[in-house]
Amino acid sequence: MKPRILISLCLTGAACRYDGRDNGVDLGALTERAELIPVCPEQLGGLPTPRVPAERRGDRVVARDGRDVTAAFLRGAEQAALLAARFGARYALLKARSPSCGVHEIYDGRFSGAIIPGMGVAAGRLKDMGLALYDERHIDDLIEKLDGEDG
């Protein structure tokens, strides 16, 4: 049985980003090795597409128009966690810098374009569950990890 990987839906080519576009990447080598479980925590949390961009400010998530959207991000993170558990995912391939899915860094919460060390809301929840997290810049590392398990 192939390992199951939770993946940010936008990385699969689905137009679910805040601006209604996608972040599609080449997943060919990964789909040969694993079963992908696509999720968009922001949509799962009840946010529309397109939507006002949002960024983390500490424990809160705030939309560019000033609305606090933390509750939707928390709901989406919990839904992603439930799916990861339901499907027995051990890994997650997430969208870098996203306020939901960022693994290593996120935008600074001032809508300035500045990047800071940090983690998205859903990424943090998945990490707490013990999933190994990767972003699209590290697909090769994930593939290497999967190949190492086969040998």
Q: Tens of pLDDT along 60-109?
A: 999 999 999 999 999 999 999 999 999 999 999 999 999 999 999 999 99
In angstroms, the CA 55 to CA 134 distance is: 20
* CA neighbours closer than 13 Å in the CB half-sphere of residue 75: 10
Amino acid 36: pLDDT: 98
Amino acid 151: pLDDT: 55
Radius of gyration for the alpha carbons in the chain, expressed in angstroms and rounded: 15
In angstroms, the CA 10 to CA 42 distance is: 11
User: pTM of the prediction?
Assistant: 0.96
pLDDT tens for residues 12-59? 999 999 999 999 999 999 999 999 999 999 999 999 999 999 999 999
Amino acid 111: pLDDT: 97
**Mean pLDDT to the nearest integer, 121-126:** 98
pLDDT band for position 149 (50/70/90)? confident
β-pairing, 54-57 with 60-63? antiparallel
